Structure 1
């Protein structure tokens, strides 16, 4: 028992998306927005709570459905019981909230007779996604952002801009929800950001990582699919450059990229002794990239790998999850970047698919890498040969990032990024090749 905030405080630390592991939440409520419900027995609201414990205060979104009765099937999603005796439920798991949210996002779809079922995608770690059956068919997926940040979320703005521009390389846009909250650190004392984003649900889609693993384990050639993925990536970059701001890479921009690479390398060499012998060679590759050609900066995917691509029957590759690197601040993820960062991320992903699968033919990853770059060049017309030093630098930086992650979390996988670093340092590839 307690007030709503106290109930949330007892419950939130047990949730997978709660970032403050290891400490007791210290919450304060910033706002509570009531959403009209078509269920007379349900009172629906969105509560924004700030956790002031920990090094950095963190803002969370908690949709709440309040009911006077508790059914046995609802018990796993119970937040608590407040002082008034009402039961509080985590909104996405109660049918009243998804229907109320869809009426805000897409009123034309939210008629009670059309929404025949809703369910939560169970595998997610950081957000909560709700799948809607419209007229009996899984048709819409809505991502409810649990951790909120001031500013536009690229996981909303980028796929929305692509879809509204007519691109079929992303799911079709359905709707979005923004809100404001108090923030004494900002001019005017208010902040704003995205709470939810809805788009087309792609029934029958296969996760690109699983498709690649299956291909690698069977020893099947992946080059046709890799080339198509390269072509689709180039088309997405081209559309983003048309509909979102671009800018030339100024000396200050280049210096910022190099500083980021150098800082990450310094951290990695302190934590991973095997990298120490390569530090000078890696630094020289970074210096070569710094002095070489740089393309225009534009919006990109930002955290591109095989798990961010879906293979859809009769449609091909569709790109998803444009939020960028989750650990980077939102304002950094919302800036123009170098398209080669996405290219490098996918090249590393091919190496990971091969490295995590026993018995993969030696040339599986190199064939996939070469085909991906061929597809990207064919669809974009980009002169990747002249940008090869920069691509090498981005791929090295990604591998260094992976090495730190694996050393801290999955030591048995550390060999995969270390092998990639060894290969990049040991060879200066012919610019016409992709392996």
Structure 2
């Protein structure tokens, strides 16, 4: 229906979950089916966008249909379509509370609706009949919370294959790992090309109420430290090091269980060389976007070369792939690790590749650095704050490594060229992100590169 594809062309580029803002559209097609014929009617559409640069993407867009405008849904309006001489109004069905019940009803019933298949995990209660409340602030996905029991994450960009978030959560549920929110079910959709695997549409997990995310807790600790002008990080009431140590132990637990229930493989020489080459390529591309990186290029390339020559033993395994303080929740009983889908911008196959657990450790160490230094953006010349930020970051990075080491028997933060290279590679990525989105934050990753490439640098500093 051309009227509908025209609406998608106008509406989608303005949505937070649309990942190709700024790319020129060459063509758009869609196919849809009815998920529910109640009131409102709910349809599900696969929108295929072809770009002028030759790229293609497929997005999932559920719509709810009304025969008149609904004022309280104005922000969710996709547009109006002529239907038998009158207009029918299409809304984003995930932001229309009355349209959110069919997903869980179909999961409970293990339904097949058109090309879509609902797979309950069969292990726990699913709150059938409750409406879902949308989670604000998400980027690449859209999530709905159903009461206090469950959270449905809908993957907006569709790719053939099982999403790692579903795969890893299912495996860790079988391992009875206590640091995850258990999987309650998932939804898949057939690919129009029968040669392709099904794509994952959504996953349902146990909701964790009354939890605090790691970033908020860590930055509150930093604010407490800044407020106490004459106390050290270990003397402030809001000291976070104990939580950092427990988080390190939780990370080690998750890594250990992933290695037990998912494939592993010892790293060989070709793997080290490939990792170093990929880092070098990313640096070359990043310098084009962030010229300030050039002054660190020699040190970074020397660090990457040390990885290519490294023979430190690495058992490659499935990893989180995008671990940071915003991906963990502190509950009354401990830390929960979320979102095992990896970096959504990377192809699904790349996110499922075996890697070193040190990549996750590096991501969390970078996150401690960000938590400590984000408030320096407002006062970049405050030497005392800069010193205190360094002190907080060093204390919490070391505590995290201690927790990981105590739980696993492995010291992740010793003199490992691979860990330092992973950290540096992440910081280069951060430089590109900040230059494009928050130029005033660019100082955070740029400053860290001096430490990471310095001669006496250690990863827990």
TM-score by length of 2: 0.85
1:95-122: CA deviations, max 9, x gaps? 343211112233463543xx2x421112
Evaluate the alpha carbon distance shift between residue 309 and residue 111 of structure 1 in structure 2; reply closer, same or farther with a 3 A threshold. closer
SS of residue paired to 1:315: coil
Alignment match of 2:433 (pick from 397, 405, 425) = 405
SS of residue paired to 1:353: helix
Inter-partner Cα distance in structure 1 for 2:104 and 2:317: 32
Aligned to 1:59: 58
SS of residue paired to 1:227: helix
Inter-partner Cα distance in structure 2 for 1:79 and 1:386: 53
The answer to whether residue 149 in structure 2 is matched with residue 139 in structure 1 is yes
Aligned to 2:93: 91
- Tell me which moved more, 58-67 or 280-289: 280-289
Inter-partner Cα distance in structure 1 for 2:413 and 2:395: 18
1:17-42: CA deviations, max 9, x gaps? 2234234573211x4233245xx333
Inter-partner Cα distance in structure 1 for 2:63 and 2:437: 34
Aligned to 2:267: 249
Aligned to 1:197: 203
Aligned to 1:434: 460
Structure 2 unmatched ranges of 5 or more: 110-124, 226-237, 377-384
SS of residue paired to 2:345: coil
Matches within 5 A, 1:199-214: 199-214=205-220
Inter-partner Cα distance in structure 1 for 2:13 and 2:411: 50
1:41-99: CA deviations, max 9, x gaps? 33222110101134311111011222334332233322223231332221112234321
Aligned to 1:21: 21
Count of aligned residue pairs for this structure pair: 418
How big is the alpha-carbon RMSD for the aligned residues of Structure 1 and Structure 2?
2.3
Cα deviation, residue 363, structure 1: 0.9
1:278-310: CA deviations, max 9, x gaps? 323222222222222141111111011111111
- Tell me which moved more, 272-281 or 391-400: 272-281
Aligned to 1:82: 81
Evaluate the alpha carbon distance shift between residue 261 and residue 237 of structure 1 in structure 2; reply closer, same or farther with a 3 A threshold. same
TM-score by length of 1: 0.89
Q: Is the 8 A contact 2:424 2:449 kept in 1?
A: yes
1:243-274: CA deviations, max 9, x gaps? 11111212332222111111122223444444
Inter-partner Cα distance in structure 1 for 2:190 and 2:423: 38
Aligned to 2:141: 127
- Tell me which moved more, 141-150 or 71-80: 71-80
Q: Is the 8 A contact 2:155 2:202 kept in 1?
A: yes
Aligned to 2:12: 12
Inter-partner Cα distance in structure 1 for 2:220 and 2:298: 38
Inter-partner Cα distance in structure 1 for 2:69 and 2:51: 32
Cα deviation, residue 345, structure 1: 0.8
Aligned to 1:308: 327
Inter-partner Cα distance in structure 1 for 2:14 and 2:295: 43
Cα deviation, residue 378, structure 1: 0.8
Aligned to 2:40: 42
- Tell me which moved more, 297-306 or 285-294: 285-294
Aligned to 1:353: 371
Q: Is the 8 A contact 1:63 1:97 kept in 2?
A: no
Matches within 5 A, 1:360-379: 361=388, 362-379=390-407
Inter-partner Cα distance in structure 1 for 2:13 and 2:300: 41
Q: Is the 8 A contact 2:369 2:393 kept in 1?
A: yes
1:152-185: CA deviations, max 9, x gaps? 21122222321232112111211100112224xx
